[in-house]
Amino acid sequence: MNIRLPRLEGVDLRFTAPPSKSGTHRALIAASLAPEGSSVISRPLRSEDTLCTREGLCRMGVRMTYTGENIHVDGAGCRLDGGEGEVTIDCRNSGTTLRLLTSVALLHRHPVTLTGSARMQERPIGPLADALRTIGGDFVYGKKYGYPPFTVSGTLLGGRVSIDAGISSQFVSSVMMAAPCAREPVEITLYGREVSRSYLDMTADVMERFGAGVTHAGDGSIQIDNSGYRATDYRVEGDYSSASYFFAMAAVCGGRVTVGNLNPSSLQGDRRMLAILSEMGCSVSAHGEEVTVERDGPLCGLSLPMEQTPDIIQTVAAVACFAQTPTTIEGTANLRHKESDRVAAVAAVCRCAGAVVEVGEDSVVIHPRSSPGGGILDPADDHRTAMSAAVVAMGRGDVTITGAECVRKSFPGFWDALREAGI
């Protein structure tokens, strides 16, 4: 599917944020590991990514049924059994599914093989596997050492475990979510450059909502009781990552954009998008679960460390193309390990806006509007690249996005939302 959007100026738009992808993944897992009773998850995100997690959990013996906008999860407890012996889970292009279910697979009665798309097989899992080996896990790689596909077996014993969080916070979240089901309490120590701490806070919050005991110690370690989970009802809040593209449209086009279904006290690190837009020259206001971003003056470039919020780097880069001064974004190295090489994607999207991009080992510098821009952009099956390209298209015009259906990974209704807003 190809999408070509018009250039707009002085917008006045309203949108509703979709449910949080991160929150949905985590709630599905916690509810699945609750030993008794049914949990009701209200308004979970239905996307390709979250479908992969749901299917993977069901393959390991969890029962789930949809009722309207809710999903009922009959928890299987801490000893999973799909009833078919060894299980294979195809995570397709969902890195979140593969990483989070790697630790959960240790709770399954039989070995579990996790695999995925060609791109998924290029994304490292070694640091997580190394950590799990120290607390009872066994890994056999199917092709390349340290990468999917691989088979997990063993028993989650618990105890002390050190995890290299330098590539992804999801390695840590994975161990955290399985830890309440370990034989002994788990103490997690992080090393390497820590990224995306806000996601660990979100993981702990969901775990605690489902009855798990999580303590952040003064030395930076994470201590988790082995007291399991309990069934509960959980409402998934709106997704600030997905809302960031709407807010960026106000910054790029000028005018006003209001987005509803956003928790003003959310732990989501991508709320930072609002602070960044404010620094760049926009005004931000909140009323209940609605947030409004307005711009009626020029945008200024910034110097931003963003290793803690990688999922909005592409959105910020799109806005930076329309500022009056350059923007430096630091902490970009891990973008090379995402659904695509997102450093290359940032450069490609910014070139469509006419910007010049300097790419460093761990940074990008965006010099805005130095050339005509426009053209055809292939997002390489990366949802965030496609949505950030939409922002540029609305500010620049003359941009065609190919393979635009890739937004189904996290925000299936993105293009429909634009059409319903009159774009």
User: Which of 90, 311, 341, 382 is labelled catalytic?
Assistant: 311
Is the bond preceding residue 35 a cis peptide, omega within 30 degrees?
Answer: no
Q: How far is CA 115 from the centre of its chain?
A: 19
User: Which ranges constitute the DSSP H helices of 281-341?
Assistant: 313-320
DSSP tag of 409? G
87 in Cβ contact with 113 (< 8 Å): yes
Q: How many angstroms separate the first and last alpha carbons of the chain?
A: 17
> Which residues on adjacent β-strands are paired with residue 258?
14, 292
CB 332 within 8 A of CB 221: no
Query: For 33-122, where are the alpha helices, taking DSSP H only?
Result: 48-59, 95-104
Torsion, Cα of 103, 105, 108, 110 (10° steps): -130
Q: What letters, b where the CB count within 10 A reaches 16 and e where it falls short, cover 98-115?
A: bbbbbbbbbbbeebbbbb
The number of helix segments (H) and strand segments (E) in the chain equals 12, 23
Question: DSSP string spanning 230-280?
Answer: ----EEPPB-HHHHHHHHHHHHHH-EEEEEES--TT---GGGHHHHHHHHH
Question: In the beta sheet, which residues pair with residue 223?
Answer: 187, 215
Picking from 367, 370, 371, 406, the residue whose alpha carbon sits closest to that of residue 390 is 406
Asked if 40 and 64 count as a contact pair (C-beta separation under 8 A), the reply is: no
Query: What is the three-class DSSP state of 314?
Result: helix
Task: Judge whether 130 counts as a catalytic residue.
Answer: no
> Where do we find the tokens 């239905």?
46
| φ, ψ (nearest 5 deg) of residue 301 | -75, 160
Q: Tell me which residues are annotated as active site.
A: 311
